[in-house]
Amino acid sequence: MEASGFSHWLVVLVEVFAGLFLLLLAIAVAMVLVVWLVDRSQTSNSVLRNFPVIGHFRYGFLRLGEFFRQYLFASDREEMPFNRAQRVWVYRAAKNAENTNAFGSTRDLRAEGVPFFVNAAFPSLGEHHVDPSPVRIGPYAREPYDHAAFFNISAMSFGALSAPAVRALSIGAAKAGIWMDTGEGGLAPYHLEGGCDIVFEIGTAKYGVRTPDGRLDDQKLLAICAHKQVKMVSIKLGQGAKPGMGGLLPAAKVTPEIAAIRGIPVGQDSQSPNRHLDIANVSQLLDSVNHIRDLTGKPTGFKAVFGDMEWIEDLCSEVARRGIESAPDFIIVDGSEGGTGAAPQTLMEGVGLPLHEALPALVNTLIARGLRERIKVVCSGKRITAYDVAWALSMGADFVNSARGFMLALGCIQSLQCNRNTCPTGITTQNPKLQRGLVVTDKSEKVYHYAVNVMHEVGIIAHSCGVDDPRQLDRTHCRVVGDDGISVPLVKLFPYPQPGTVPERPATA
């Protein structure tokens, strides 16, 4: 009787599942038929019109292709913007894992543009020690800033980044003794949470320090700079990934908290102007620099991507006219290879000087005009490994900033979702479910280890080249491979000018 009852229920269960299967099959067939009819009748896509239904697989494969290439097909040195070898180097440094390889490098040392360093015949005995001397920024400011670390966190806004990401960066930066740039999105409590030094950036929309009509609110700026952690103020003229275009924060990321910090409406796209309303020439730029420095007492400079050095020549002439104390305390030069969460492909790939041209051009201009010691140079643009940073120091930078390097340290897998609010690692999303994957206590340690290990390995390069301080690296210590496969010293490609060799230009209005 029991066996008969079990058989009965088994038959009923099979019939139910069979019915469900047939129902689902009927629904699937109906959906395919609807898609077939829609594809066949539409006129905008020829592939779908000729190959209804199956034509959709093409777009699915296109979408998945970037992931398949990353994990299955691309070699260690093929991918852009960062290849697997670069990413693995950062991951190891962030985990404080052994960063050695066997059997030789996979880097093509004969490819045009590859830099490498010239080791000294008789380097000093013993282990190297990375203990760079502090560099003073803003000697004419009421609160000059003395900072030793040459590798720091570049501008990334709260909003573009999640709160857990900003918290992890702040805590890790404090432990490593490096600064953190807020980006143009204003000062969030998460920036201050770790206790690190802060560079406050004022973007073209003046988020966080804006009046209702988008101009600078002095009282709001004073309130922000009252925080002792805020060490410098940076005026953002532009960034490498989108020169001549303001930042864009998609509406999905404009939460009530972010809107309150920035001073903008909730749930609307936030598009910054392509330049500051009150800065239309070098004279007005210097006016703004001096106003902010006098108001806050903090060293003040600006960030820009360069198309040429002519306007920097004009700025130097204006400084000569006003007096050396009127100069910006620092210039952050961003190469056109810089990254961002959202930018038009045309600007990202086709506008602005890359860092390997812009950095030496800026440094040489300042040397020639006698302002190199007065104005400190910070650079950014794909500087994520030790030899990237060492190259920048050799070229003349005082400090090197990195954004995407620290994103990789946070766990970024280069899924290219930054502009979609769907970042799978929780770094560039405002979705709480995705943010849950980023554990602050773990990631802050990786930020700390990454910064320390980069500077440690730059120290290894410097020691090999025969200098004690990485900032002593210069263009005689680095060579670059030319188009014939033969390397040339940087000092021959970019010779140092003599101070005063460039004639004064007439001051601009």
Among the listed residues 115, 139, 69, the one whose alpha carbon sits nearest the alpha carbon of residue 392: 115
How far apart are the C-alpha atoms of 274 and 295, rounded to whole Å?
25
Contact 232, 200 (CB under 8 A): yes
**Strand pairing category for 399-402 and 376-380:** parallel
Buried b (16+ CB within 10 A) or exposed e, 247-258: bbbbeebbeebb
Question: What does pLDDT average to in each consecutive run of 10 residues of the chain (509 residues)?
Answer: 66 81 89 88 77 78 63 59 76 84 72 87 78 94 97 92 94 97 94 96 93 92 97 91 72 85 85 88 97 98 93 96 97 84 67 89 96 96 91 96 92 78 85 88 95 95 92 94 90 90 54
Contact 187, 198 (CB under 8 A): yes
Among the listed residues 155, 105, 181, the one whose alpha carbon sits nearest the alpha carbon of residue 385: 105
- The domain over range 135-141+150-417+428-493 is classified in CATH as 2.120.10.30: no
Other Cβ atoms closer than 10 A to 125:
5
Please give the structure tokens belonging to residue 474: 């210069």
Q: Where are the alpha helices (DSSP H) in 42-99?
A: 46-50, 56-68, 84-95
The amino acid that residue 291 corresponds to is H
Phi, psi (degrees; rounded to nearest 5) at 203: -85, 180
List CB contacts of 182: < 8 A, sequence separation 6 or more.
Answer: 155, 157, 158, 188, 191, 198, 199, 200, 201
The secondary structure of residue 324, as a DSSP letter, is G
Nearest 5°: the CA angle 195, 200, 205 is 140
**Element (H or E) spanning 24, and its range?**
helix 2-41
The secondary structure of residue 9, as a DSSP letter, is H
Whole-angstrom CA distances from 378 to 303, 484, 488 are 9, 32, 25
The amino acid that residue 317 corresponds to is S
Is there a cis peptide before residue 273, judged by omega within 30 degrees of 0? no
Buried b (16+ CB within 10 A) or exposed e, 143-182: ebbebebbbbbbbbbbbbbbbbbbbbbbbbbbbbbbbbbb
Contact 130, 177 (CB under 8 A): no
How far apart are the C-alpha atoms of 263 and 209, rounded to whole Å?
8
Whole-angstrom CA distances from 344 to 81, 144, 156, 248, 254 are 16, 38, 18, 11, 20
As a whole number of Å, the end-to-end CA separation of the chain is: 103
User: Which single residue is written with the structure tokens 């060293």?
Assistant: 299
Please report the pLDDT score of residue 509 as a whole number.
44
Number of alpha helices (DSSP H) and beta strands (DSSP E) in the chain: 17, 15
Please give the structure tokens belonging to residue 149: 């670390």
List CB contacts of 150: < 8 A, sequence separation 6 or more.
Answer: 132, 389, 393, 398, 399, 400, 455, 458, 470, 471
Whole-angstrom CA distances from 44 to 38, 41, 48, 53 are 11, 10, 9, 15
Nearest 5°: the CA angle 492, 493, 498 is 65
pTM as predicted? 0.85
List CB contacts of 221: < 8 A, sequence separation 6 or more.
Answer: 202, 209, 233, 292, 295, 296
Helical pair 386-395 and 440-464, crossing angle rounded to 10 deg: 50
Please report the pLDDT score of residue 53 as a whole number.
84
